[in-house]
Amino acid sequence: MGLLSDPNRRKALTNLLTRLNAPICMVCYLAAIVWFMGLAFEPFTLRTYMSENAMGSTMVEERFSSGERALSLAKEFDAHKRKAGGMPVEWLVKAMQARGLEVFTQSFSRKLPFPDENKERYMVRGTNVYGILRAPRAPRTEALVITAPCSPGNSDNQAVGLLLALAQYFRNQIFWAKDIIFLVNEHDLIGMQAWLEGYHHTNITGMEYSPLQGRAGSIQAALSLELSSDVITSLDLILEGLNGQLPNLDLANLFYAFCQKLGVLCTIQGKLQRNDWDTAEGYTHAAQTMMLMVLKQACGRSWGDHGLFLRYHIEAASIRGINGFRHYKMDVATIGRLLEGMVRKLNNLLERLHQSYFFYLLPSLSRFVSIGYYMPAFGLLAVILLLRALDLWVNLGAPALEAVDGVTEAEQPSGPGVLTVLTPVVISHLTGVALYLLPVHLQEMAVEHFPVSETEAVVLTAVAIYTAGLALPHNTQRLLSGEGTEQGWKVLKLTALLYLAVLLGCTALINFSLGFVLAVTLVPITASMTPHMPKALSALAMVLLSPAFTILYCVFIYQELIEAPVSVGEGWMLFLSVISQGILDHALYGSLVYPLLALFIYPCWLMFWNILFWS
Amino acid sequence: CQPHPGSFQEELVIRPLHSGDIYASFQFRTLWDTDFLQEGQKKVSHYRLFPKSLGQVLSKFSVQELHISFTQGFWRTMQWGQPFIPSPPGAELWVWFHDTVSDVDGNWKELTNVLSGIFCASLNFIDMTNTVQPSASFKPLGLGNATDHRFLRYATLPREIVCTENLTPWKKLLPCGSKAGLAVLMKSEKLFHSSFHSQAVHIRPICQQCTSKAWELRQTLNVVFDHYTSGQGKKEWSLFKMFSRTLTEACPLASSSKVYVDITDNPELFELSPATPLLSQAVVLGDRRTYSVYDLTRAETFGQLRSFNLLLRWKGDSGDMLRPLLHAERYVAGFGLQTGEIHTVIYNNHPYRAFPVLLMDSVPWYLQLYIHTLTVTSKSRDNKPSYIHYQPAKDRHRPHLLEMLIQLPPHSMTEVTVQFERALLKWTEYTPDPNHGFYVGSSVVSALVPSMVAMSTNFTQDQPLFSSFVPVKEESSYFVRVYTEPLLVNLPTPDFSMPYNVICLTCTVVAVGYGSFYNLLTRTFQVDEPSPPLAKRLANFIRRIRGVPLLA
């Protein structure tokens, strides 16, 4: 700090920073990318370990053996599901009651803001059925949840069958210390949201539901089960939840420990672990797994039924059975044993899962990257914005600095009026508000005038508003009385840079992946943007690095990573459906990615667009 | 003078529940016609049936009435109906002190510590932060019309775990110990292999033929056995199966020793062997019940084998139970660690009668109740309580106490909600397992529930004990106390697992960041002038002495 209080040395430092600004920024950017890619390299990552003492050494013996019963229950459930054309409420209530559970139902209904074309639903009406296994001699203060969805068609019957078989087996045991809730939810996430809101007696998304009759205290952990075939080859663990929230790493460790113990093949992001980290293929594999996690987390969706639990501070994960083309097959009883082991370990918990990490990336199930390791990658990107801002600040204050030696406050009352800066800021934000509000509210009008469906109307309105925003700078200039001065754009850019730095910084703290993905695309173009660059070329570069194109690239990269590459046309359709899903996720479950992009990131990007066309 | 010997009675009631479970309730009553509180009398030192350890405690602390219960598990009113003697999960202690006591709080503090030693329980954790003085919910059950609640102390420890170490001292209070009589059935490996376990001690003064005051000690033990976890699918019960013992004799000191089996639903539900010709009818909790009675003081009860094993065989499925008239539950609504809402839901399942209930809530200080958000709604209409007694909490000194008299409309659900904010505790105030959460004790709903059956009010000897515990003044209604679930609430918890990191980071931030900013803000910058030459300094020195202005 002596460095800053001494005017001479301070001047030397700022001189150095301004002179070497561009090269430092370049180095930072490259270092950030290299650092990030290095995270997947095995020697740089840590091996996962069980932090929670209560789940560590006390290995339990699994005895669940009624796999056949689970399968016959699955068939029975399937038959009744077909007959009822949806959730077979009566049958399920009877089946749970016969197993000695306290059974309750919850009906809910939800009108979507516009029809969901992926899942073909608009007016959703359904019933959740749940049974509570009361732990002997426990005062109903703690609970664990096991859920299975009642999905249309043939899928997830085995999950419900296994759920019921587990309930029967668990009911006959004496060792439970926490109540166990067996939940079968209809309409996947909507039903889950209704149940969670009912359980916690809140209403954050405008869902209509009947109040819950039975409760079991505070829920400590939840496991969601997806199983669609009688035999499986591997189990996939899904962790990414709403808004990029992740469950405590110990839950993943627990799953991995039991997979190891029972010899079950386990995957994450659908990718098996490889042992050859020192080969190029091995590294690429780990990098792909980690990139998939980053992309999934960045999009802020709940990737399984577990994802909505995380908001309520309930550690949850989904376990999905995969029947691939492998030699080695497992029956349902093995999965039952795995779940039994996990639930018994969770039952042993004395405290909520809190010992291990909440912020991590997984290049494989046995390796993790903690927040301390991945944050520098983002920090290096954020530093670029700050360095550019510093450069501008010094530039703007340069004449003032000479006059008042040694005082940092280079206020310029005679500089460009507040209006010059404020106008573009306000206008871009109003565009953002329009982008946020209009697509859903204008759908009826759009449907009337154009031959499109509601969903298409919403998405295309969003794209149209987004594109229309690009025409703004010319109009902004016309609105202003004075000419944009050299000082003017610098002040605007300084504001925009700091604004972007704060935005991305806050985003990265909550959802690292989203912050990082946005920073990677936004930082280079925003850092280098001036009005003196060749207009056409830099405009093209800006558009290609705008938030919408970032989403488009993510779609292509994601498809590439899950080994289902798509053509440009299909990619475009996927892009449109991603947008509609984002808007739906926001309306239905309160996902924050769409409002963040529409209300903050896009206006911020528009401010830079303004600078480019500053005259 | 020879003190009156007193009497001892023991009994066991077995009630097959509609859920298929079995409810076994032991009661032991010791009566003693003496009054250790009487002033001027010689100190009582000769104890016979009455346990000396308790007698001494009563006289030392001038206790008028003492009720203590240890419960592991939660009574499931909706499946099991009303228990004979209700109790909340964990430990509950309420004591009426004699009105001559001057320092009630001091006596209470000492008493809890002594009882903690007697029952091997953590009752010493009862202090002023979890003790309340309910104004209306806990009236004396025995003689004496002391209703000044200054002499009442009530506390619960919802977290208390009850196990064998609490059972052993409890059994030692019995005249026969666990050597003879019904107490031989109390083997802890079976008693704790159950869905519900509750043991209690109730001491109160009662009226002995209303000529003299007598002390009554009731020890009760209630267990519910689960047919799923122990039955292997076969619905068959016997004393041996439940307790891994059979009865061979009554306690020789007991004046009466009986086993009752509730056969009101017989023969539809189950078959009982051996059969007994003795039947008894009693009105329990507003319902007329029929009981088979087995008198253990008679030799023929034990038959040829000299052992009495009761066998109960279920026939077919159990039918539906009548919904209990009064039922309450409680939960915490909301999410996040800042605020929340306590919901207490009380059900009146009576088809056409409204009745008032007294709701008592004692909430620890670290949940800061917003009492202005208190709402009581029945049938989606505001239901104004006719009596509210609210004592706000003092941080670290005393809990909130909220008592309300609420009229429950017939066939209705009444919801009481109040919002709260979670306090941030000092770092030494957290328990060793802060992420487990903090407990809030059960709220207590006390009510006179209307019954169809008129009830006699005199305490006659031949009436079963379990039917005569609570004195009922008003005919056609009976007293019920319902406890809700305790709550487990998470408070904002610092990350204790890395104190080192936290300390290092904060110290660094404070030292580097704050220190240098403070330095920059307070330092005044001025141009350094070269020091004046020696001659000038000398001249100035002389001028200062002379008192003339200095040279520049």
Residues of B with Cβ-Cβ distance to A137 under 8 angstroms: 72-73, 192, 194-197
- For range A265-284, the mean pLDDT: 88
- Residue A410 is predicted with a pLDDT of 41
- For range B238-243, the mean pLDDT: 87
Instruction: Answer whether A139 sits within 8 Å of B226, measured CB to CB.
Output: no
Neighbours of B88 (CB within 10 A): 25
How do residues B286-341 score in pLDDT, each as one tens digit?
Answer: 777 888 899 888 888 887 778 888 888 877 665 666 778 899 999 999 998 999 99
Whether residue A59 is predicted with pLDDT greater than 70 in this model: the reply is no
- Residue A58 is predicted with a pLDDT of 63
Q: Give the Cα separation of B474 and A241 in Å (integer).
A: 58
Chains A and B form CB pairs within 8 A to the count of 99
Alpha-carbon distance B347 to nearest alpha carbon in chain A (angstroms)? 11
Helix, strand, coil: what percent of chain B each, to 5? 20, 35, 45
Instruction: Answer whether A354 sits within 8 Å of B435, measured CB to CB.
Output: yes
Alpha-carbon distance B503 to nearest alpha carbon in chain A (angstroms)? 17
- For range A242-270, the mean pLDDT: 92
Q: Give the Cα separation of A246 and B107 in Å (integer).
A: 52
A 353-382 residues inside an 8 A Cβ radius of B:
354-355
Chain A residue with minimal CA distance to B516? A1
Q: What is the CA radius of gyration of chain B?
A: 32
Which one has a higher pLDDT value, A561 or B144? A561
- Residue B474 is predicted with a pLDDT of 42
CB A137 within 8 A of CB B75: no
Instruction: Answer whether B334 sits within 8 Å of A200, measured CB to CB.
Output: yes
Query: Which of B158, B476, B399, B305 has its CA nearest to residue A138?
Result: B158
Q: Does A6 touch chain B (CB under 8 A)?
A: no
- What share of chain A in percent tops pLDDT 90? 54
Phi, psi angles (nearest 5°) of residue A592? -105, 0
Q: Does B511 touch chain A (CB under 8 A)?
A: no
- For range B541-551, the mean pLDDT: 84
Among A112-121, A590-599, B54-63, B237-246, the range of highest mean pLDDT: A590-599
| Residue B461 banded pLDDT, cuts 50, 70, 90 | very low
Strand order in the sheet with A367-370: A46-47, A367-370, A360-364
- Residue A394 is predicted with a pLDDT of 85
**Vertex A21: Cα angle to A20 and A23 (nearest 5):** 70
- Residue B457 is predicted with a pLDDT of 39
- Average pLDDT of chain B is 84
Chain A residue with minimal CA distance to B525? A406
Specify burial of residue A471 (Cβ count, 10 A radius: 0-12, 13-18, 19+): exposed
Residues of A with Cβ-Cβ distance to B490 under 8 angstroms: 218, 313, 352
Chain B residue with minimal CA distance to A197? B334
How do residues B269-279 score in pLDDT, each as one tens digit?
Answer: 777 888 777 88
| DSSP state, residue A57 | S
Q: For residue A131, give the 3-state DSSP assignment.
A: strand
How do residues A393-445 score in pLDDT, each as one tens digit?
Answer: 888 876 544 444 444 444 444 455 677 778 888 888 999 999 999 888 888 78
Helix/strand/coil (H/E/C) assignment for every residue in A325-372: CCCCCECHHHHHHHHHHHHHHHHCCCCCCCCCCCCEEEEECCEEEEHH
* Cα separation values, B420 from B340, B493, B502, Å: 5, 17, 29
> How many separate helices (H) and strands (E) can be counted in chain A?
23, 12
Please name the member of B195, B226, B523 whose beta carbon is closest to the beta carbon of A5: B523
Residues of B with Cβ-Cβ distance to A100 under 8 angstroms: 228
* Cα separation values, B392 from A292, B26, B365, Å: 54, 39, 9
Neighbours of A139 (CB within 10 A): 25
- Residue A346 is predicted with a pLDDT of 93
| Residue A4 banded pLDDT, cuts 50, 70, 90 | low
Please name the member of B79, B487, B520 whose beta carbon is closest to the beta carbon of A141: B487
- Residue B153 is predicted with a pLDDT of 93
- Supply B86's token pair: 């209700």
Domain limits of chain B?
7-314, 326-489, 497-551
A 180-209 residues inside an 8 A Cβ radius of B:
200-202
Q: Domain B326-489 class? A: mainly beta
| DSSP state, residue B2 | P
Residues of B with Cβ-Cβ distance to A5 under 8 angstroms: 519-520, 523
Chain A residue with minimal CA distance to B437? A351
- Residue A473 is predicted with a pLDDT of 66
Please name the member of B158, B229, B488 whose beta carbon is closest to the beta carbon of A218: B488
Residue A58 carries which side chain, given as an amino acid letter?
T
Neighbours of B307 (CB within 10 A): 14
- For range B387-408, the mean pLDDT: 93
Strand order in the sheet with A142-150: A208-209, A102-116, A121-133, A179-186, A142-150, A218-226, A315-322, A234-238, A266-268
Residues of A with Cβ-Cβ distance to B334 under 8 angstroms: 200-202
Instruction: Answer whether A350 sits within 8 Å of B485, measured CB to CB.
Output: no
CB B34 within 8 A of CB B3: yes
CB proximity list for B405: less than 8 A, separation 6 or greater = B136, B356, B357, B358, B359, B385, B386, B387, B388
Query: Which of B496, B253, B482, B504 has its CA nearest to residue B348?
Result: B482
Torsion of CA A53, A54, A58, A63, to 10 degrees: -140
Residues of A with Cβ-Cβ distance to B194 under 8 angstroms: 136-137
Least confident of A186-195, A211-220, B204-213: B204-213
| Residue B118 banded pLDDT, cuts 50, 70, 90 | very high
Q: Does B320 touch chain A (CB under 8 A)?
A: no
Instruction: Answer whether B73 sits within 8 Å of A406, measured CB to CB.
Output: no
Instruction: Answer whether A352 sits within 8 Å of B490, measured CB to CB.
Output: yes
Whether residue A174 is predicted with pLDDT greater than 70 in this model: the reply is yes
Whether residue A9 is predicted with pLDDT greater than 50 in this model: the reply is yes
Mutate to test the interface with A, among B159, B197, B488 (most CBs of A within 10 A): B488
Residue B410 carries which side chain, given as an amino acid letter?
P
CB B417 within 8 A of CB B373: yes
Alpha-carbon distance A404 to nearest alpha carbon in chain B (angstroms)? 12
Residues of B with Cβ-Cβ distance to A215 under 8 angstroms: 329, 331
| DSSP state, residue B247 | B
Give Cα A456 distance to the centre of its chain.
Answer: 24
Whether residue B97 is predicted with pLDDT greater than 50 in this model: the reply is yes
- Residue A404 is predicted with a pLDDT of 41
Please name the member of A137, A200, A217 whose beta carbon is closest to the beta carbon of B488: A217
| DSSP state, residue A167 | H
Domain limits of chain A?
7-39+374-613, 54-365
CB proximity list for B50: less than 8 A, separation 6 or greater = B6, B30, B32, B215, B217
Residues of B with Cβ-Cβ distance to A142 under 8 angstroms: 488
Mutate to test the interface with B, among A101, A137, A357 (most CBs of B within 10 A): A137
Please name the member of A1, A100, A173 whose beta carbon is closest to the beta carbon of B516: A1
Helix, strand, coil: what percent of chain A each, to 5? 60, 15, 30
Could you tell me the sign of the dihedral formed by the alpha carbons of A258, A261, A262, A263, in that order? positive
- What share of chain A in percent tops pLDDT 70? 93
* Cα separation values, A525 from A497, A521, A528, A533, Å: 11, 8, 5, 12
- For range A321-330, the mean pLDDT: 85
Q: For residue A214, give the 3-state DSSP assignment.
A: coil
Alpha-carbon distance B4 to nearest alpha carbon in chain A (angstroms)? 41
- Residue A441 is predicted with a pLDDT of 84
Instruction: Answer whether A142 sits within 8 Å of B488, measured CB to CB.
Output: yes
DSSP string, B399-438: -EEEEEEEEEPSSEEEEEEEEEEE----TTTS-S-GGG-E
How do residues A464-502 score in pLDDT, each as one tens digit?
Answer: 999 888 887 666 655 555 555 777 788 888 989 999 999
State yes or no: cis peptide before B267, omega within 30 of 0. Answer: yes
Q: For residue B203, give the 3-state DSSP assignment.
A: strand
Q: Does B62 touch chain A (CB under 8 A)?
A: no
- Residue B232 is predicted with a pLDDT of 55
| CATH number among 3.30.2320.50, 3.40.630.10, 3.40.630.40, 3.40.1160.10, domain A54-365 | 3.40.630.10
- For range A138-152, the mean pLDDT: 92
Please name the member of A142, A171, A354 whose beta carbon is closest to the beta carbon of B228: A171
Alpha-carbon distance A204 to nearest alpha carbon in chain B (angstroms)? 10
| DSSP state, residue B501 | H
Instruction: Answer whether B333 sits within 8 Å of A200, measured CB to CB.
Output: yes
- For range A267-293, the mean pLDDT: 89
Instruction: Answer whether A201 sits within 8 Å of B334, measured CB to CB.
Output: yes
- Residue A52 is predicted with a pLDDT of 85
Least confident of A365-369, B76-80, B317-321: B317-321
Whether residue A586 is predicted with pLDDT greater than 90 in this model: the reply is yes
Q: Give the Cα separation of B181 and B29 in Å (integer).
A: 13
Please name the member of B230, B333, B435 whose beta carbon is closest to the beta carbon of A351: B435
- Supply B47's token pair: 């104890």
- Supply B157's token pair: 């420890």
Mutate to test the interface with B, among A134, A141, A195, A314 (most CBs of B within 10 A): A141
- Average pLDDT of chain A is 87
Whether residue B471 is predicted with pLDDT greater than 50 in this model: the reply is yes
- Residue B42 is predicted with a pLDDT of 58
Chain A residue with minimal CA distance to B334? A200
- Supply B242's token pair: 């439940």
| Model confidence, pTM | 0.89
- For range B64-85, the mean pLDDT: 91
Chain B residue with minimal CA distance to A172? B229
Which one has a higher pLDDT value, A402 or A547? A547
> At B31, which helix (H) or strand (E)?
strand B22-32
Instruction: Answer whether A201 sits within 8 Å of B226, measured CB to CB.
Output: no
Q: Angle between the A89-98 and A157-171 helix axes, to the nearest 10 degrees?
A: 30
Q: Give the Cα separation of A20 and B434 in Å (integer).
A: 51
